[in-house]
Amino acid sequence: MNKISTKHFILFILGTAIISCKTYLSIFVDVGGRATWLASIISSLIFTGLLLFIMNICKKTNNFNIVDIYKESTPKFVSSIFLIIFVLALFLNSIEAAAVEANVLHSTLFIDTPIWYALIFFIVPSLFIFSKKLRTLLIFVIISVFVLIVNGVLFFLLTQSYKDINNLLPILGDKSLSSFIYSAVMILGSLSSFMIAMPFLKYIDKTEHLRIHSLYSGVISSAFIILSFIGVITAFGPLRAANIFYPEFVLSQRIEVAGFLEFGELFFIIQTVVGLFVKYVLATYSILLICDKLIKNKAIFIGIYTFLVFVLSYFLGLNNYILYEMLKYIQGINVVAFVIIPLITFVLYYFKFTPKKVSKM
């Protein structure tokens, strides 16, 4: 049965919105400095507001098909351009997930493991999910996101003793206002990855609790992100946190239990591998849903798509400095493709729908 509930949709939001920001926190701290945690609060409020805004319009118009909303909101040529940009952004996020995952493994625990080798063990298993129905994907998301939540809570609790709250002070003392705003925009770009889950809206069977459950997902996602920024800044200070490729990995190495158990790296590896794999699978599956009528042969399409992702993510993940520079641009692209264009589209669709609704009354 290809249906999901609004509770399941919470997991789809969590599986797409959180992982990127938590994995490469340093690119945001590098821009925002000590006050990045404050910028993350502002970004989280905008993210939650945008999420509720979209869900509210879907409920009021009783249309949960994002493709139909895009097509009906603007002229055919414009809507086609908007949809192409959306699909390209999904493709870019797939590459980002694969490249970052391979780079994480190569840069942390498995230094001798080549990028291409890590990519094989990341991309090949996804082919199984792409060949299955939505039910298989749903089971995978439920298990994976549950593991991520438990893993994140345990990581937060076990690292509390290694943090100094004084590293958050003074607020707005080390960066300019423009840098603060820039960091907030970048964080919003990362959080806007929740739009990856929007093509799955049409499979929700009962939508009466969609808004409240969307609020839950926004609050939980925001809490994870804000606490992550506070965690790395209080643990290392803004300067050190900005100069570590994967701050939470270094923080996880500090974990020690009962004086002899040291297993903190496991938390970061589970978070990164599982989280980025979920994001990659959902982004790719969303492309399959949007382009369903255009894909003549699904197997050939997935084969070509996987090859392109493998090649592009391989070259992107080879060099940490190039990767991190590109990640900043990706956040900007996300702001355009997942925030600005959807906001315009849904506003136009709402105003086009309202006169029709009034005329029928």
Which residue pairs from 163-167 have beta carbons closer than 8 angstroms and sit at least 24 positions apart in sequence? 163/231, 163/234, 163/235, 164/234, 164/235, 165/234, 167/34, 167/233, 167/234, 167/235, 167/236, 167/237, 167/238
Quick: pLDDT tens for 282-332.
999 999 999 988 888 888 999 999 999 999 999 999 989 999 999 999 999
Residue 358: inside a domain, yes or no? no
Number of domains within the chain:
1
Low-confidence ranges of the chain (pLDDT < 70): 1, 258-261, 354-361
Task: Look at residues 311, 254, 249 and name the one whose alpha carbon lies nearest to residue 95.
Answer: 311
**CATH code, domain carrying 303:** 1.20.1740.10
Give the list of residues 6+ apart from residue 335 with CB closer than 8 angstroms, or none: 185, 188, 189, 192
Residue 359: inside a domain, yes or no? no
Residue with tokens 């907030």: 184
* pLDDT value at residue 358: 41
Domain containing 82: what range?
A: 6-347
Residue 1: inside a domain, yes or no? no
Residue 169: inside a domain, yes or no? yes
In whole angstroms, give the CA distance from residue 174 to residue 278.
Answer: 36
Residue 360: inside a domain, yes or no? no
Amino acid letter for position 123: I
Residue 76: inside a domain, yes or no? yes
Residue 361: inside a domain, yes or no? no
> Model's pTM, two decimal places?
0.93
In whole angstroms, give the CA distance from residue 198 to residue 268.
Answer: 27
Residue 353: inside a domain, yes or no? no
Task: Look at residues 356, 314, 359, 345 and name the one whose alpha carbon lies nearest to residue 106.
Answer: 314
Strand partners, 261: 257
